[in-house]
Amino acid sequence: MSEDKLYEFIPVSVRLIDTVNETEVITKLGQIAGVAYQSDKAMYSQRLLKCMKDGHESVLEHQSISVEIVCDRATTHALVRHRHCAFTQESTIYCNYNRFGKLQFIAPQEFSDPVYQVITEDYLKDSRAAGIKRDILPNCTKTTLIMTTNIREWRYILGLRSDPKDSGRMHTVIKMLKDQLQSVLPFFFTDIPQIWR
């Protein structure tokens, strides 16, 4: 076994892809909410607050936000279960995980360095079909996921995935996502309801 590490641990990251202007989003969604009530008043924020308070959140589905999430594959397995989203993820078939000279992993809460060295060596020496190579990659393999959904679903995901029973890695992703959404669209993301199972 080589003394040099053939892998590295990288941090989780979340990045908003879309540039959104909260005032424009409030105006757009406020006008849409006005259709439901045949209202032509320009009191968009009050109308939206009432909609959210009354549970009439379908109007929030008219604004989507895309994010880039760099995390472990196990976390993405949970995220892609959300049905009202669009996903694009790195392919273990078509991606060369050694393209940066080292395989990249997200450090799990408990890990053993020698295990990752063996996995990486097996991945590098295995010249068989890509399907066989990908079978040896662990769930903590770094992946990039692009996720797009509407404001209503983001609110739901943030509330659901804050559940104490969810994984610590999921909590890291959700905290980063919540912080970014709250900084850009505080009107919509300061009162996230907790939707625990």
Residue spans of the domains in the chain: they are 7-18+64-186, 21-62
**Between 52 and 133, where is the model more confident?**
52
Residue 22 is predicted with a pLDDT of 96
- What are the beta bridge partners of residue 148? 66, 86
> Residues 10, 142: contact at Cβ < 8 Å?
yes
At 53 the three-state DSSP class reads helix
Query: 89-147: per-residue pLDDT in tens?
Result: 988 888 888 777 788 888 876 666 777 888 888 877 765 555 566 677 888 889 999 99
pLDDT higher than 60, residue 10: yes
Q: What is the CATH number of domain 7-18+64-186?
A: 3.30.70.3180
